[in-house]
Chain A
């Protein structure tokens, strides 16, 4: 500042402020400071003012716009929608192409068999592929859901916003569930159409498979929650391995109970008994053979399976949030 006065520069209080500073190591620079103005700084001063005005227009609330109303539910849904968009743009749904090819091929090549068998094979094959593809997505995308965000540091900017870690986790979870819902629905429609095609007309099986489709979807929701829990404290590879182990053991859950009863030692009995109650019983959700025969689960069994899944998922997500809340993102 004193330098300007040494140079006897004009001082007009009503003009924009700028001072010119310079030193040996960098070029003259600009700094809004006092009410001094000088000829060679006018251009810079104007530029500064223009930037200021643009910013005011840009960030002040536009006329008539409502002020932010950030609710937890809305934030969760926003994150879920983005997670769905991520899955779509990462071409996760491309597995549907493979599924359609598989169904078409099976419908064509199984033409030799009798119509009843053909329909049963289509249902078996279709539902198995639905479970398999869905499980792959649930495990591989599910374990990367959070890890990828930490690894790529994309969550830094998001968590600095008014977003709770639990909300973030739940949003990501729902996003993948939405992806799986689209995947499973399209596959279900594919199977129904294939059934109509091989029967050359209406087949009641085309509708009767849907409770089984819904059960597969509920199972996938459990698998995603398991994957999310493991990925909240380990690497994707380990989390995928553990989730796959839970998936396999979960399908043989009833055997664990038998094993617990048959084992001689108390320690082993407690261990297998604990494992039985701790791991999800996924065998309730795989009704492929029944569906092939046109058998639908009893409504009460369906409701119990749904309630069990919702409680199990809630516990898993609460545990994942508990762990995630304590993590340091270095």
Chain B
């Protein structure tokens, strides 16, 4: 696999105060590598430095120290920006333009022909599920969710090799979230690399191959989601069963003293301390004729890791 994004010791200090200026470190020596074709989650609480990183990569702000390269080119190489897409946080676009005009304008900046711009704009607006009655409405009349969709469309207008999404799901209703999530997942099939910031763990868990957790400007963790979950400790598993009495279940689970049984109105809930015990528990349950309803991990290890980092 080749490298899509390489960040080396990226640091950003902001000067605050008017008379007595002091420096505040927003990003502290971030080093990170994202491979081509992967969906990379960039997690962090508000103010952790996620958007600062994005803005540094988009050359909206300049680093105090360190360097970064996208698709093998330095971030200051303007030509490289023809191969990437960016959705800013809280997207604000020219509110005097219609959605269609805005997308055509964006496509024109990439140098596409007029016809091509028109085709791209229409196809992308359809792709992000924007109601076609809104295509020719000025953006000032758009809701936040609709703007988010337009934002995603403009980020994809040049068919980018890598796309940077800053909080792509914010402001969307559950249906919208699902649609955008599916859309991001579908980028994987085009081998588009996705680097996206979020503080919503569910989105990261569903979409990402790898993730990094940023805490107060420093990289706290980075790696595959499975590894990150592993760092949070062993995961207890929960089995929900029906079709057997508590006595039958208790008898069946004799060989597993660590399993905890709780009766529920429809059946029982069994908690085993690790994934390794699930196999044995399932075998025991089958023997006593119980019907399996669900198996799932207890708690969210990624959330535990995220919260642990904040304190």
- Residue numbers of A with Cβ under 8 A of B are 2-3, 6-7, 21-26, 29-32, 47-48, 51-52, 54-62, 65-66, 68-71, 74-75, 78-79, 82, 85-86, 89-90, 152-154, 156-164, 326, 328-330
Contacts and interface: CB of A to CB of B under 8 A. Distances in A.
Interface of B: 14, 55, 58-62, 78-82, 84-88, 90-94, 96-97, 105-106, 108-113, 115-116, 119-120, 123-124, 126-127, 151, 154-156, 158-159, 164, 182-183, 185-190, 202, 205-207, 238, 275, 278-279, 282, 292, 294-300, 303
Given A154-B92, A326-B62, A329-B55, 14 more contacts: A3-B295, A31-B185, A47-B182, A54-B126, A57-B123, A58-B127, A59-B127, A68-B111, A153-B90, A156-B55, A160-B164, A162-B82, A163-B81, A328-B61
Contacts of A7: 292, 295
Given A48-B182, A157-B86, A65 B94 contact: no
A75 B78 CA distance: 13
B279 A162 contact: no
Contacts of A21: 205-206
A73 B182 CA distance: 38
Nearest to A22: B296
A52 B189 CA distance: 7
The 9 closest A-B pairs by CB, nearest first: A70-B111, A58-B123, A160-B86, A68-B111, A89-B96, A328-B61, A52-B186, A59-B159, A156-B88
A58 B244 CA distance: 53
Contacts of A74: 108, 111
Contact of B108 (A48, A65, A78, A86): A78
A58 B124 contact: yes
B278 A6 contact: yes
B14 to A, nearest CB: 7
Contacts of B123: 57-59
B58 A160 contact: yes
B188 A23 contact: no
A330 B110 contact: no
A81 to B, nearest CB: 9
Given A65-B119, A159-B59, A329-B61, A75 B298 contact: no
B121 to A, nearest CB: 10
20 contacts: A2-B278, A6-B295, A7-B295, A25-B303, A26-B202, A48-B185, A55-B127, A58-B156, A59-B127, A61-B116, A70-B82, A71-B111, A154-B92, A156-B58, A156-B88, A156-B92, A157-B155, A158-B109, A161-B110, A330-B61
B92 A153 contact: yes
B238 A65 contact: no
A57 B127 CA distance: 9
Given A6-B282, A47-B182, A328-B60, A56 B190 contact: yes
Contacts of B275: 2
Contacts of A68: 82, 110-112, 158
A329 B183 contact: no
A96 B119 CA distance: 37
Contacts of B188: 32
B126 A58 contact: yes
A31 B295 contact: no
A24 B299 contact: yes
